[in-house]
Amino acid sequence: MDLKEKTAAILKQYEVGSRFSYLPVLPKASVLIPLFVRDGEVHMLMTLRSQELRTNAGEVCFPGGKRDPRDRDDVDTALREAEEEIGLPPDQVDVVCTLFPIMNKSGLLVTPVVGFIEASFSPRPNPAEVSAVFTVPLEFFTREIDHSSYSATGIAGLLHSFQFPDPKSGSHYQIWGLTAILAILVSVLALRKKPEFETGFDSDDPVSFFQHNLNKRISKL
């Protein structure tokens, strides 16, 4: 079993299926977390939002957006948005799993969809939405170096921030907030490795932890 197959098999164990079908109807969004193998390491692809956008301009995120009435499910939303934003054809994504949804600060229920793409994929960013595309090895999100955090109300009680020096472009990217949480989660699950820093959530059983937190937030709506 090669690294891609091994990583996919691990992540498939966290497929939520219909576990969250009991949730009330809430505004929904999905993000695609594209993974690929390069030089014996698993990497994830990330984007920098255009400065022209009205919300979260200039922030690092994953391809994604709000559910469209035409979308059949969370996977459909994530794949459609990825094609619109970075020119990634849906048939070039090997969807591995849909992870548990997380409510963002605006009350939007965000569902992460994890899939593998080819390392040779060449992004074609839509300049109206994306100003840069870059990749980060999963291992980066388990190390203390370039990481900082402080206590905050919200997703996991800690706000995480990473400063990533991209060796390819020479640019430095700040990865923080919900995007940082999702990057940590996928890295912890895929690598089966505890980070060198306090995460604010139970890395041994993140599904139950985030489900409990989500239920608490929903009960207050």
Residue pLDDT, tens place only, 150-197:
887 767 778 999 999 999 899 999 999 999 999 999 999 999 999 999
pTM confidence score: 0.95
* Cβ within 8 Å of residue 153, ≥6 positions away: none
Q: d(Cα 210, Cα 182) in Å, to the nearest integer? A: 12
DSSP symbol at 92: G
Cα of first residue to Cα of last residue in the chain, in angstroms, is 46
Q: Catalogue the E-assigned strands of 3-67.
A: 28-38, 41-49, 60-61, 64-66
**What angle, 0 to 180 degrees and rounded to 10, lies between the N-to-C axes of helices 177-191 and 206-219?**
150
User: Which of 157, 136, 156 lies closest to 146 in space, CA to CA?
Assistant: 136
Average pLDDT, the chain: 92
User: Which of 118, 130, 120, 15 lies closest to 81 in space, CA to CA?
Assistant: 130
CA angle 9, 98, 78 (to 5 degrees): 125
Binned at pLDDT 50, 70 and 90, residue 90 comes out as: very high
User: Which of 43, 30, 14 lies closest to 178 in space, CA to CA?
Assistant: 30
Q: Are 142 and 195 in contact (CB under 8 A)?
A: yes
Binned at pLDDT 50, 70 and 90, residue 145 comes out as: very high
Going by their DSSP bridges, the two strands 130-137 and 109-116 should be labelled as unpaired
pLDDT (0 to 100) of residue 57: 66
Assign domain 3-219 one CATH number from 2.60.40.1930, 3.40.50.2000, 1.20.1250.20, 3.90.79.10.
Answer: 3.90.79.10
